[in-house]
Amino acid sequence: MPLAITAQKNYPKLLDEYAQAEFKIKDFNGTMLVMQKGKVMYKKAFGMADREWNMSNTVDTKFRIGSLTKQFTAACMLQVAEQGKLSLDDKLSKYIPDYPKGDSITIHMLLNHTSGITNYTNLPDFWPKAILPLSTDSMIALFKNKPLDFSPGTQWNYSNSGFFLLGVIIEKVSKKTFNDYLLENIIKKLALKNTMLDNLDSVLTFRAKGYEKNRQGVWQHAMQISMEGPYSAGAIVSTVDDLYYWTKALHNNQVLSAASTKKMLTPYKEDYGYGIGIDSLKAHKRVSHNGGIPGFASYLSYFPDDDICVAIISNNGSNSTAIGIALESILFNLPVLIPYNPKEVKIDTAVMNNYLGKYIATGPIEIIRKNGKLFRRVNGAPDVELKPESNTRFFYADRSSRFIEFEIDKTGKVKKGWFIGNGNKVEMKQQ
């Protein structure tokens, strides 16, 4: 197993070492950008933008960014509030009068995912229709009459539906399409030359196609969904450079007033602001979000106290969030495991039996045996085989670069267990 990266001074080299491993070992396709105090620390493109035409990705390639769109939408909403066209305390019923329980849901709740409105991308009804250019009314009809997940304002649950409704409200109060409002008040204002709301008939230079591998490991086109579904929740196309320019403008109060920017970047429930998350990496304050849409994955983070920005966009669904966290960790001298291909070894059945049981890590995990093999079991997900890399370390058989590792005493009894993945090492406590 390769050694973890430790503190060294040649950060561009360390970043490239990690990025190249992601490309060679885990098939990363896309672009990466790391900026520090206005200077490029690392910028590189990997893989193919169009496999049929053998066109490589470049740093100017445009990608669908999925839910990174939400912070743009939140900024648009705060702008129209600044213009006096609405209040964040306004009820949803003011703009969509017949919306069920709309008089108990505020714009503030839509912005920070506390409305209780169910997420339409979790509904089986949505995906068969996702390729269709559905009207706004047809989209709202998919989730409008579904039961609320909880009483508005009491809990947090990520909801694309809420951000779809924000786009509708922006159109109503601005008297413009969401696309036109975004173009005039964000994109042109900030000179974001490679950012736009996507649709299927757009002809875009340097557009990346979205890909995925089938069960046989062969590349194929990802599902080509219509952008009328993602809309104000996830339909923007951009580049890593534009995402950096956007981030800096937002934090420098070039998009909103200082007061509105503060509202947007205030952590409410679950450390979520308006369309963006606020947390920390160790002692370093972080503002970040990720995005996923068929064939694409994105991650954008900013450390305001350190003036560091990380932008990752992939056109094959690579785990951009984990990659982004790894690059951040390198910059802050935190240990990072370079991607590698673990090799399965044979271990004694009695050793396997030591690890069976229930644990708590980021959530409940159970380790079970089936047909002489170990599996990880969690509620709501298929069992995943755990293949032994040694007597104490197991890797997930789904190529997700996740591991479970145990510390044992002289008798073989488990002292501690660890879940390792997505840039984190979390203790697994036995139940």
pLDDT < 70 regions, the chain: 1-8, 423
Q: d(Cα 317, Cα 107) in Å, to the nearest integer? A: 31
What HEC string does 185-249 produce? HHHCCCCCCCCEECCCCCCCCCECCCEEECCCCCEEECCCCCCCCCHHHHCEEECHHHHHHHHHH
> In the CATH hierarchy, which top-level class contains the domain 349-430?
mainly beta
Q: Note the pLDDT of residue 381.
A: 87
Q: Please report, to the nearest 10 degrees, the dihedral formed by the alpha carbons of residues 375, 380, 381, 382 taken in order.
A: 60
Q: Note the pLDDT of residue 2.
A: 46
Can you tell me whether residue 412 is helix, strand or coil?
Answer: coil
Q: Note the pLDDT of residue 210.
A: 97
| CB contact set of 263 (below 8 Å; sequence gap of 6+) | 78, 88, 273, 274
Q: d(Cα 248, Cα 250) in Å, to the nearest integer? A: 5
User: Would you state the CATH architecture of domain 63-331?
Assistant: 3-Layer(aba) Sandwich (3.40)
Q: Note the pLDDT of residue 423.
A: 66
Q: Environment class of residue 360 by beta-carbon count within 10 Å: exposed (0-12), middle (13-18) or buried (19+)? A: middle
Spans of all domains in the chain = 63-331, 349-430
The 10s digit of each residue's pLDDT in 109-145 is: 999 999 999 999 999 999 999 999 999 999 999 999 9
Q: Note the pLDDT of residue 217.
A: 85
Q: Note the pLDDT of residue 7.
A: 45
Residue showing tokens 């009695």? 350
The 10s digit of each residue's pLDDT in 355-388 is: 999 999 888 999 999 999 999 999 888 999 999 9
Q: Note the pLDDT of residue 1.
A: 43
